Structure 1
């Protein structure tokens, strides 16, 4: 069944929509059984056809571009009065650049009308997460745009009086070039095909600061797009399951969607493909994050059967980790990584790994206790206590300071000063979540909300509709927007930015690990926190700071908790709380 939708604003309880048709995804899962290919449809995915919101650029012999903004019924006819005509001469090509209004995961549909030439028309298609990327080419000398991980620059044949669909990447913009001398093609429609899981936004957040509302929603949408077959890091790049990336992603999934199968599927995938004596994704901290995520999952859902499935692997992995301690110090030999901005700061990496080792050992002790494994619990507890004997110095690294303080290995005042120094400069989209957590722990809620507004809000100011793999806040003031052709004299935040594996246009502009503010706002401003595994007991402790009100909901295994807090004239906060049956409120 196909349903046609008119244009409407973004609704926070479902995926954002524009002008589109909504269909159940045609994607199938195949397996061979007795010589036959058995097809099973994944019903949770939908594909939606989205009409462009604006024409960014039209060059060469292109006329009738306004017709590409018309809703398309889904069926081409022999009499199409409203077409966009591409007509090439001998000295150039015809091009259009389309904006679909929001980052999506999927591909493109091109529909061609009847014309005199029945030969297939050749088009070059370039996807882009920014205007700059869509205007780039992978075959240019020194190009940073690539076809790695997903194809974003390619040629395609479009049949006469027919349609073609192609593509599987993350994008917002599409450039079409008609190829060939004296070529002509009449297009009825060019639509994006957005593919995502059709799941409700059970968690909600709204407050008296609209900028924070938009940031919460953008973080939720960013992690939603990352929930593909597995929980990916990004939808353009790398489209892989990176366990460290998953921790803030999982926290955001818990906050917005509740218990979802893609989390366990992704954790199990990496576990099954990585011996417990080898670091997950080749990074020692990512094995620590796997342990920490398992702990969080049990805290949130209390699924002892799933935890028991991890017991043998968890035990061997914990022993592998312990073998890399040198007395009271972490001593990991390889795969030493915290985040990209600290990659060349060995002291920050060491401090971060020390803190994460303590956290993983204490998480291991808790899980061993829940599993009734007293021997493993004693081993993990002893290792954690030994590690706590040594406290690395708090460097100028905001990442290291935050991780140390969250494990009570640094002082509140010292860490606060490091994190707040220079404002949002030095934040990172991954580790920024833990910096916010450290500010909350030290009681600096207003300062944390200011950092959210400055750092993540600056991405919105530059045209972002999802949050990025990384963001150098110091470049924001002189940068052009990603949804415009960058003016001369402005810094191109996409083409000229990035570092390490995300140089220039390779930089992912939809990265799930950047969704931390969504979790933080629900946990600390709305104030919802589980205090017993499975959310059987909950503490609700709001911190409105300068906000006048906040309201929202939070998923639990028993159903959503709904909360409203309003500040009175005397500064006191009046709360309205509704708990599902099975959840008890504690002070």
Structure 2
């Protein structure tokens, strides 16, 4: 195949020129949004990667490991606690290697001595988005046969925000770690190490004169605290804490249960050749590694600096989770810069992880940081007159699960919404269930309440949700709120109930029985004698990212009380299931007391609602604090306004939109809820979404949607465009259209209440412990339904009929039902497994 080249003169054929940064519409066909969906034999990291042995170490005097709870630890801040720490280690060599490279990561700065000679003095930019950087030092000239000594003075890393029930993980987050190794190879080339950091190192905060010399007597120094091998715990892969280790030799930074696959880009955009030339650009959008058609950069005269270098942007067609890998076929080391973006605006103007350098060894490979993105901008900075690449592609990192649940209908928009919600949650299923795969890449219980619900409904995965729930609450004794947020403690309880209803996993319920009880007791400390939530523990309160719905104020306290009531009811039910009747009765009684107090303090006798907020009224309905006779005024005054243009205080995130949708269904306003799904979540799709965003309002500007997203008290590219807490329509469509709702453990009792609303047909299935429960609906002389019930399920069908009807056709024969919902539905008991054809007479 002849070479194809692009120069400055032909640039227009590859460059996207636009006035703004509106999201580009994806062309991914239906059912193919998730590229891993059809993978039958995933390649797990455990099948090809052995975790690295080098360990994070730190000085014993200020190590957290084994001493205190993580959330109680106060971050020293970016520029606090920056006193020097001193490390030493001795190692022997049979002979001096011809080449040797020292790698150090963790500290912001270091003075490094080998055999008493200053090898390097290095520091990082603390304003860089990455909290950790890899320093590389050529040390071959300083090594000799026999005993060698390395001595280091380091200052802790900048650290990044985050929290978890792991002192080890928190120490990494706060930058109080150091890892080092020496490899007898040139820079960037992996190989067996001749020195690694570990418990044999010595470490102190108080070094005396001459500490750096090879003959210094360090016998009085304590041994360093060995925190963990750098790939030794799932907690070390959270919160982007390890993002800067992307160029640590041999580092994968992925849990052994994750899998990977390689994907080419869908499109190439914003190609800037300058005085250089690109050859075979087409190979970047194809699975081609043919040496006859390698992508090549012939470098011309390039002015210094990243901005003037030849570059291009890879568009993967949808949000992805992973990292870009570059495989060189050049004879020289190549240096490129790489930056990611969930949007075109972010990749060009404000990449969350910044602009990162990659040094690719001759005929070797390198990859950028792990993150979530759609676009990757690459600039070719140095490496000789010609840079050749066997491949530049995505290494997609994912949790291997099957799509055991499904939904399809006569409305293509709803089908796309369902698919995008499922894909969004799958992207968040990484090293545990995260809020988002770009930011924060950590466990948040509010997010898990929605993501876990979708996971139960679609993927029916037990391991990842159980691990996430366990790590969120921590070990006994439970002394703190989940994520430090009282409302998130409540959602831990409600998601545990949801998980139990879907799976019937009694063994896990028994395992977390102590945590469940102790967490409820921690929650109960927040009330005064009148059952008013007073926030006695001075926790940070959060309901939603709308004005006055986060932070400690009366409105947030009131909404949190409603979340608590729902948790107390579910908690009492779970304790009863565990046979813990005395505690079950106690929290059932506490729930009744909270409801009485909430009705007295929150219900407006004059207006007939729970205030002006969608969020508060939705939770009042969903929790059960609001009685059915109060629904009318709540609907008329507040929730009927959902979907209307808002002013800023009434903004709502897709997260709390989940509870609004559920409340609308409970109040029998599913038609309005479906309309809002089309407008709100469909609005994101109209603006180019391939995953659902952390925050959204249809009134926000459209030229650059990402720049105008508002969440976490901030706006712009910081805000996530793939957030698991935004995926509620995916489970809602299955629960409210197909009508599948488990009401007892493991689907032992399930209610099927089909409702086509304005659809012509819908079909799908939901996984149960006994197999898939399938429902297919058609608008045909009312409604016609086909239902497949697996063994072991006690199914109640609430089927729509003409008001007053008492008989229905089941498999061609009349069956009497019990009138329900004011005579508009018949209650049918399907007493055995099998296939049922149901139609009103």
- 1:385-396 alignment, distance < 5 Å: 385-390=592-597, 391=599, 392-393=602-603, 394-396=610-612
Cα gap change, 1:445/1:362 in structure 2, threshold over 3 Å: closer, same or farther? same
- Tell me whether 546-555 or 406-415 shows the greater mean CA deviation: 406-415
| 2:333 corresponding residue in structure 1 | 120
In the alignment, which of 193, 197, 207 is matched to residue 395 of structure 2?
193
In the alignment, which of 8, 13, 16 is matched to residue 35 of structure 2?
16
In the alignment, which of 518, 538, 543 is matched to residue 316 of structure 1?
518
1:360 aligns with 2:567: yes
Task: Considering fraction of residues, name the structure with more helix.
Answer: 1
Distance 2:533 2:385 in 1: 65
How big is the shift at 1:423? 1.4
Distance 2:280 2:343 in 1: 20
Distance 2:285 2:509 in 1: 52
CA RMSD of aligned residues (A): 2.9
CA contact (8 A) 1:252 1:515 kept: yes
- Structure 1, residues 183-234: CA drift from partner, whole Å, max 9, x if none? 5423343211111122210000001111000000000001111111201111
Distance 1:349 1:407 in 2: 16
| 1:208 corresponding residue in structure 2 | 410
CA contact (8 A) 1:231 1:241 kept: yes
Aligned residue pairs total 546
Partner-residue secondary structure (3-state), 1:287: helix
| 1:141 corresponding residue in structure 2 | none
| 1:142 corresponding residue in structure 2 | none
In the alignment, which of 510, 524, 527 is matched to residue 739 of structure 2?
527
1:97 aligns with 2:313: yes
- Structure 1, residues 431-478: CA drift from partner, whole Å, max 9, x if none? 000000011011111111111111111111111111111112211xx4
| 1:448 corresponding residue in structure 2 | 673
How big is the shift at 1:161? 3.7
| 1:25 corresponding residue in structure 2 | 44
| 1:109 corresponding residue in structure 2 | 325
How big is the shift at 1:364? 1.6
Partner-residue secondary structure (3-state), 2:661: helix
Partner-residue secondary structure (3-state), 1:495: helix
1:465 aligns with 2:684: no
1:49 aligns with 2:262: yes
Partner-residue secondary structure (3-state), 1:179: strand
Which blocks of at least 5 consecutive residues in structure 2 are unaligned? 1-26, 54-198, 200-228, 234-253, 604-609, 798-841
- 1:69-80 alignment, distance < 5 Å: 69-74=284-289, 77=291, 80=292
Partner-residue secondary structure (3-state), 1:100: strand
CA contact (8 A) 2:545 2:652 kept: no
- Structure 1, residues 79-114: CA drift from partner, whole Å, max 9, x if none? x34524252423321110110111111111113344
How big is the shift at 1:365? 1.2
CA contact (8 A) 2:618 2:659 kept: yes
Distance 2:753 2:310 in 1: 59
Of structures 1 and 2, the larger Rg is shown by 2
How big is the shift at 1:39? 10
How big is the shift at 1:69? 3.8
- Tell me whether 526-535 or 325-334 shows the greater mean CA deviation: 325-334
In the alignment, which of 616, 621, 624 is matched to residue 408 of structure 1?
624
Cα gap change, 1:11/1:47 in structure 2, threshold over 3 Å: closer, same or farther? farther
| 2:271 corresponding residue in structure 1 | 58
1:337 aligns with 2:557: no
Distance 1:277 1:18 in 2: 41
How big is the shift at 1:165? 2.8
Partner-residue secondary structure (3-state), 1:48: strand
1:167 aligns with 2:369: yes
1:479 aligns with 2:702: yes
In the alignment, which of 587, 601, 620 is matched to residue 380 of structure 1?
587
Distance 2:719 2:283 in 1: 29
CA contact (8 A) 1:20 1:50 kept: no
CA contact (8 A) 1:49 1:194 kept: yes
| 2:790 corresponding residue in structure 1 | 580
Distance 1:382 1:252 in 2: 31
Cα gap change, 1:13/1:111 in structure 2, threshold over 3 Å: closer, same or farther? closer
Partner-residue secondary structure (3-state), 1:473: coil
| TM-score, structure 1 normalization | 0.86
1:515 aligns with 2:727: yes
- Structure 1, residues 163-187: CA drift from partner, whole Å, max 9, x if none? 3233211111000011259854233
| TM-score, structure 2 normalization | 0.61
CA contact (8 A) 2:341 2:352 kept: no
| 1:369 corresponding residue in structure 2 | 576
CA contact (8 A) 1:22 1:46 kept: no
- Structure 1, residues 242-295: CA drift from partner, whole Å, max 9, x if none? 112110111100110114210000111122268522111111111111111112
In the alignment, which of 640, 644, 647 is matched to residue 420 of structure 1?
640
Distance 2:431 2:633 in 1: 43
Partner-residue secondary structure (3-state), 1:523: helix
Distance 1:450 1:348 in 2: 28
1:557 aligns with 2:764: no
Which blocks of at least 5 consecutive residues in structure 1 are unaligned? 1-7, 138-144, 481-491
Distance 1:31 1:376 in 2: 46
Partner-residue secondary structure (3-state), 2:479: coil
Partner-residue secondary structure (3-state), 1:465: coil
Cα gap change, 1:88/1:427 in structure 2, threshold over 3 Å: closer, same or farther? farther
Distance 1:436 1:442 in 2: 10
Between the two structures, name the one with larger relative contact order (CA 8 Å, sep ≥ 6).
Answer: 1
Cα gap change, 1:328/1:563 in structure 2, threshold over 3 Å: closer, same or farther? same
How big is the shift at 1:495? 2.5
How big is the shift at 1:57? 0.7
Cα gap change, 1:552/1:546 in structure 2, threshold over 3 Å: closer, same or farther? same
Cα gap change, 1:376/1:70 in structure 2, threshold over 3 Å: closer, same or farther? closer
